[in-house]
Amino acid sequence: MHKKKIFILLPDGIGLRNFAFTNFHNLGIENEFDITYWNATPFDLSVLGFKEVKIINPKTHPMTDFYKKALIQIELSQNIKKSKDSIYNSYRFPFSKKNSKEIFKVGIVYWIIFWNNSKQGVTRLRNKITTYERKTKLYFDSLATLQEQKPALVFCTNQRITSAVSSLLAAQDLGIPTATFIFSWDNLPKGTKIIETDFYFVWSEQMKSELRYYYPHINDNQIFITGTPQFEPHFETSLLVSKEIFFKEYRLDASKRYICFSGDDVTTSPNDPQYLLDVVKAVELLNSKGNNLGIIFRRCPVDFSKRYQHVLDKYKDTIVSIEPKWHKFGETWNTALPTVEDLKVQMNTIYHSEFVVNLGSSMVFDFVAFSKPCAFINYEVVNKDYPKWSVKKIYNFIHFRSMPSKNAVIWLNTPDEIENKFEQLLCGSTSKTIQNAQAWFEVINHHPAKLASERIWVAIKTIIT
């Protein structure tokens, strides 16, 4: 029997964790697929024994970035008009104006927005992007690759990267079906769905509803509810090591119980160093009362700043920093790539921690997969460098509206109540919180969570049959 060749398009490193470092590849092989990664990342997939075709230095058309930036702003404006909800303004980020060249570029974006700020303008800009991308060297190189390789389907692991547009257009122009994966639970309200494919794979029924709401031209039969492979490693017990091995490797104190503080990126939470300091002080108060606690600090994998260092240095007897094993290939966040080794680090950090503390991250789901609770930080800090930032902005984001019960997490509403809330968490009276968090997990991600890759391959088989 001739195996159907599937091209997995990796326009950047986001897809590596989901589609190269999980069991996704092995399941595809077991299901008699011939899998090739169309790889634009610096990561060499051949070291994993995977077949790959490298995309070298992919370049979009010079106009595409202008149209993309304008398109995102226009979609946010149209979402406000459609929903009568100003929350979409929170997804806007200020344009860089650090020099005259940047100011000129911003002027072009504003000019495009001025002439296209409508539903018709959205369609017009999408057509502009496809017209220009069909003129690029990347488009013609992609045509040549696809004509040689003849895949049955091209599956893109990320819906928002412009460098994927040319390759997907080439596939569509050759009559090859295309699909993409919406990679994060908060992506769709942001207006970041740049690429257009024949089919879409989403996490949940809720995400399907969002996709239909924001992009009504997409039909139900183009959408497959699969869940996300990012949570599958939580159910791989082979990744776990004993407390003795883990504690020895990271020089943890075997007599202590550890709380995990999970950092955010600086844009999401510029006050994280102060929050970490508040947590440390609460832990030290608990220790003065006879407890024996420590903190495992796991920074956001794409945050390479030194902003926590003064806290880590001062409280090194209480905090152990376990660095994510990501590789940095450039200066921007999306040039940091995950590694297979980091999956093991993250899983064991969760497994050997009592609970997690953070500001509104999806780590709540990582921990509830291990039946462990999460505490969300929920108070303001004065920060003269970020005077307009507010914790309220974070929890008003649309993806938090999916929470079926506000009691899915423990809320830390002031620094003074952290000590008491931690005592509640440590005494084990958290079954209701964990139950509510599990219900939330099932809203945002199709369950059983460990079967996402299997459902994706079933969907691929349905498309190409």
* Residues present in the chain in total: 465
pLDDT of residue 330: 61
Mean pLDDT for the stretch of residues 65-81: 97
Domain assignment present for residue 129? The answer is no
Whether the Cβ atoms of residue 176 and residue 153 lie closer than 8 Å to each other: yes
For residues 264 and 389, membership in a common domain is answered with yes
- Band the pLDDT of 139: cuts 50, 70, 90: very high
For residues 222 and 269, membership in a common domain is answered with no
Here the tokens at position 162 are 């412009």
What is the CATH classification number for the domain harbouring 34? 3.40.50.2000
Q: Phi then psi for 375, rounded to 5 degrees?
A: -115, 125
Query: Is residue 43 helix, strand or coil?
Result: coil
For residues 52 and 88, membership in a common domain is answered with no
Instruction: Say which residue the tokens 């008003």 belong to.
Output: 396
Whether the Cβ atoms of residue 334 and residue 13 lie closer than 8 Å to each other: yes
Cβ neighbours for 271, distance < 8 A, ≥ 6 positions apart: 381, 383, 386, 389
How far is 53 from 6, CA to CA, in rounded Å? Answer: 12
- Band the pLDDT of 148: cuts 50, 70, 90: very high
Mean pLDDT for the stretch of residues 283-299: 98
How far is 23 from 191, CA to CA, in rounded Å? Answer: 30
- Band the pLDDT of 140: cuts 50, 70, 90: very high
Residue 407 pairs in a beta bridge with none
For residues 215 and 292, membership in a common domain is answered with no
Owning domain of residue 112: 64-119
Here the tokens at position 188 are 């769709």
- At 29-45, the pLDDT tens digits run 999 999 999 999 999 99
Q: Give the residue with greater pLDDT, 302 vs 257.
A: 257
For residues 174 and 27, membership in a common domain is answered with yes
Mean pLDDT for the stretch of residues 255-277: 96
- At 149-174, the pLDDT tens digits run 999 999 999 999 999 999 999 999 99
For residues 323 and 217, membership in a common domain is answered with no
Mean pLDDT for the stretch of residues 234-261: 97
- At 3-13, the pLDDT tens digits run 899 999 999 98
Q: Mean pLDDT over all residues of the chain? A: 96
Q: What angle do CA 236, 338, 206 make, to 5 degrees?
A: 65
Whether the Cβ atoms of residue 203 and residue 446 lie closer than 8 Å to each other: yes
Whether the Cβ atoms of residue 271 and residue 383 lie closer than 8 Å to each other: yes
**Nearest Cα to 34, choosing from 50, 47, 18, 55?**
50
For residues 290 and 425, membership in a common domain is answered with yes
Domain count for the chain, please give it.
3
How far is 6 from 18, CA to CA, in rounded Å? Answer: 16
Domain assignment present for residue 126? The answer is no
Domain assignment present for residue 383? The answer is yes
Instruction: Say which residue the tokens 């079967």 belong to.
Output: 451
